Structure 1
Amino acid sequence: MCSLGMKDSWGPLKALAVATVINGIGDIVLCRVFSYGIAGAAWATMVSQVVAAYMMIEALNSKGYKGFAISIPSTDELLQIFTIAGPVFLTMMSKVAFYSLLVYFATSMGTQTIAAHQVMVQLFMICAVWGEPLSQTAQSFMPELLYGANRNLSKARMLLKSLVIVGASSGTILASVAASIPWLFPKVFSSDPQVIREMQKILLPYFIALFVTPSILSLEGTLLAGRDLKFISLSMSSIFVFSSILLMLLSSKGLGLSGCWFALVVFQWARFFMALRRLTLSNGILYSEEATQNELQKLKAA
């Protein structure tokens, strides 16, 4: 995140590429050649992560930062870290908790149903990751436009508009491709007719939920860049509570796996509309010069 904050995407990319190669070679040598099994895979992963961490610290050092320096944070610094990390942690835990609830309710529906759900949710997660660069872009470039010496709210709004458009386009492509695989080639995942039937039954809510995901990430990345942390945590917690209640109601009505995925649709689109509404307010971080100035003063004080 430090490298991305400095708009250095090559440092983390090189570290990731080297770590991947080391991990792959280590797995082959330790597991295949020396037959160390899962212990060998764990050692290969550990070494690759250490090398990646060293490379990223060196990338920071090359830009004038002392990456290997160790210091004990003061009470004020710990408080500042907590005020930032606390809401972000609550936001992430709300997402994880809701996905865990989906698995819990799907598990109670039988072996074939949970098998279908696991296939679809794993495919969903793989495709959802493709929207993360939009969030990272917003977190890297938005702070300069919102609070920098040459801040420009007009350019910040243009950037967000571009990110949402890219998100909608990529979401359409990702959702179409991801939904077409279980529809056209379901036996890639399972040859059980009932599992296939369950997968194809939820293709519509699956498409709708995945389609909006990249746009959500661009909006939430902008809110994080604007330090609107209280809103993010409170809104995500509220959405989690509402969606969880809806999930329980739909499951109690006997709607099966379709009910679970329609609850996910509500969860995703509620995130989208609440973040979009917040960012388009006339007194929000993208429109109000006064709000921007107040936040800038807080950042300077910190």
Structure 2
Amino acid sequence: MRHCISPTQDVVDNNREMDSENDSEIASVSSFQEGEEIEAEVKTEAFENQTIWNQTREIMMFTGPATGLWLCGPLMSLIDTAVIGQGSSIELAALGPGTVVCDYISYVFMFLSVATSNLVATSLARRDNNEVQHQISILLFVGLACGILMFLFTRYFGSWALTAFTGPKNVHIVPAANTYVQIRGYAWPAVIVGWVAQSASLGMKDSWGPLKALAVSSILNGVGDVVLCSFLGYGIAGAAWATMVSQVVAAYMMIEALNKKGYNAYAFSVPTLNELLKIVGLAAPVFVTMMSKVVFYSLIIYFATSMGTYSVAAHQVMIQTYSMCTVWGEPLSQTAQSFMPELIYGVNRSLAKARTLLKSLVMVGATLGLVLGVIGTCVPWLYPNLFTPDQNVVREMHKVLLPYFMALAITSSTHSLEGTLMAGRDLKFLSLSMTGCLSFGALVLMLVSGRGCGLAGCWYALVGFQWSRFFLALQRLLSPDGILYSENLSRYKIEKLKDS
């Protein structure tokens, strides 16, 4: 940037001076790149040579700011659940299918986040700001198009989807759920565009800008819920308006954060067919993985909904507190994806040190899982009135405390393992294993539901789903042919994508 010349400046055409300047510029860039590489190598080497305890401390410091990004989304739904639960058990039950349409389906578009972070980071590595701007523009257009399609879907097919999801026994909760879905549907374009802007900032290694935006939106959502629901009595509609407005505000703040970095986040470009294929090809394995999770959690809510109002209301409380706890383990996956590639593919690659780092990540995940399991279980056990005064709902909540703890305790360690698989580019195995876990979990759900095992049976199916993911990922990483032991890594390398 120091050598840029504005179009209005006069340029003196002196070959010797230009040659000299170019030589010095090349030397400057070369020394700058070498300095960057040396600095990165020193940091990596310092991290590699640390003890497990020091690595653990560094991991915790690295994941701290990123944790807030994962907490804000579930926090909004948890606030809705707590406020609505104080007023009506029917509206609390209606939040179950309502959040499936508004929250779980949104994870289908998580591939846009992955593609944005990857493409922006790659373009920045080439120091090509024009390419960064182009990538942001086309991804913002794709996000806007997806948001408009989802708005139209909820507008014209939302009621039909909710009726099909809840079944004939719970038709009475469809009007409340549809009210919630229709209001939040207005935010769909902003939600997905905001995801793209957030991922672009993360690709630029800026986590504080998105964190500020989500913190403001969470506070706005909480205040709006209390005012609209508790004081003005708007019920589930008030909760939906509060969440919708907070999501729009968050998207605006994320876009402004990109503009402050010198990029035009209001410039939308229509991508070519090759560019679309490039985005889809990059994110396809992650798409399959996320879809498997979305489908399984949706199936749990589907089977819980067929058990009656009290069961689905209890499940809504438990699944929201569960989601609030599990996101604390997500930054461990990000840590693995940040530090592992250098140890697996770098110039000074060391699989032994990669295995040591994995051990540190799993230790942090196991400790975090136990702490979250204890705290997460004690809240609905000892303080259920925070969510609902209905004792029928409370009794259903207490029936699932044991499987709730078992599923929550292993989740953070699973994130560490799956993040390592992503860092090692073993994406095909990750998507296939997740599909297998989905099939196994769906089969267990059908069996326990057919035998009348109640809500507890659904949660034991979740236990099987989570522990299966853990053991499959662990077995893959400990295998002699795995990415942490095999010297032949050519089969894990991603082919270079063709330029559009």
Q: Identify the TM-score tier after normalising by the shorter chain.
A: 0.7 to 0.9
Aligned pair partner of 2:310 in 109, 112, 115 = 112
1:116 Cα shift? 0.9
**Over residues 87-123 of structure 1, what are the superposed CA-to-partner deviations in whole Å (9 max), with x where a residue is unaligned?**
1111111111111111111111111111111110110
- Counterpart secondary structure, 1:284: coil
RMSD between aligned residues: 3.1
1:24 Cα shift? 4.9
Residue 327 of structure 2 is aligned to residue 129 of structure 1: yes
| Consecutive unaligned residues in structure 1, runs of 5 or more | none
**TM-score where L is the length of structure 2:** 0.52
Q: Is the CA contact (8 Å cut-off) linking 2:311 and 2:455 kept in structure 1?
A: yes
Q: Is the CA contact (8 Å cut-off) linking 2:426 and 2:492 kept in structure 1?
A: no
1:138 maps to which residue? 336
Aligned pair partner of 2:253 in 40, 44, 51 = 51
Q: Is the CA contact (8 Å cut-off) linking 1:4 and 1:140 kept in structure 2?
A: no
Judging changes above 3 Å, is the alpha-carbon distance between structure 1 residues 211 and 25 closer, same or farther for their aligned structure 2 residues?
Answer: closer
Alpha-carbon distance in structure 1 between the residues aligned to 2:324 and 2:448? 26
Q: Is the CA contact (8 Å cut-off) linking 1:15 and 1:53 kept in structure 2?
A: no
1:250 maps to which residue? 448
Question: How many residues are paired up?
Answer: 289
2:347 maps to which residue? 149
**Over residues 241-299 of structure 1, what are the superposed CA-to-partner deviations in whole Å (9 max), with x where a residue is unaligned?**
111011110111111011100000000000000011111111111111212x5545845
1:32-181 equivalences in 2 (<5 Å): 42=244, 45-56=247-258, 78-181=276-379
Identity of aligned residues (%): 51
Q: Is the CA contact (8 Å cut-off) linking 1:113 and 1:198 kept in structure 2?
A: yes
Amino acid at match of 2:382: L
Aligned pair partner of 1:264 in 417, 440, 462 = 462
Amino acid at match of 1:279: L
1:27 Cα shift? 9.5
1:241 maps to which residue? 439
Judging changes above 3 Å, is the alpha-carbon distance between structure 1 residues 18 and 117 closer, same or farther for their aligned structure 2 residues?
Answer: closer
Alpha-carbon distance in structure 2 between the residues aligned to 1:123 and 1:297? 37
2:88 maps to which residue? none
Alpha-carbon distance in structure 2 between the residues aligned to 1:39 and 1:234? 39
Alpha-carbon distance in structure 1 between the residues aligned to 2:321 and 2:386? 12
2:209 maps to which residue? 14
1:221 maps to which residue? 419
Amino acid at match of 1:13: W
Q: Is the CA contact (8 Å cut-off) linking 1:16 and 1:52 kept in structure 2?
A: no
Q: Is the CA contact (8 Å cut-off) linking 1:12 and 1:56 kept in structure 2?
A: no
- Counterpart secondary structure, 2:394: helix
Amino acid at match of 1:125: S
My pick for the range that moved more, 187-196 or 268-277, is 187-196
2:430 maps to which residue? 232
Q: Is the CA contact (8 Å cut-off) linking 1:147 and 1:296 kept in structure 2?
A: no
- Counterpart secondary structure, 1:212: helix
Judging changes above 3 Å, is the alpha-carbon distance between structure 1 residues 157 and 73 closer, same or farther for their aligned structure 2 residues?
Answer: farther
Q: Is the CA contact (8 Å cut-off) linking 1:5 and 1:139 kept in structure 2?
A: no
- Counterpart secondary structure, 2:446: helix
Alpha-carbon distance in structure 1 between the residues aligned to 2:218 and 2:389? 33
**TM-score where L is the length of structure 1:** 0.83
My pick for the range that moved more, 117-126 or 194-203, is 194-203
Q: Which has the larger radius of gyration?
A: 2
- Counterpart secondary structure, 2:488: helix
Alpha-carbon distance in structure 1 between the residues aligned to 2:323 and 2:312? 16
- Counterpart secondary structure, 1:166: helix
My pick for the range that moved more, 43-52 or 262-271, is 43-52
**Over residues 207-233 of structure 1, what are the superposed CA-to-partner deviations in whole Å (9 max), with x where a residue is unaligned?**
000000111111111111111111111
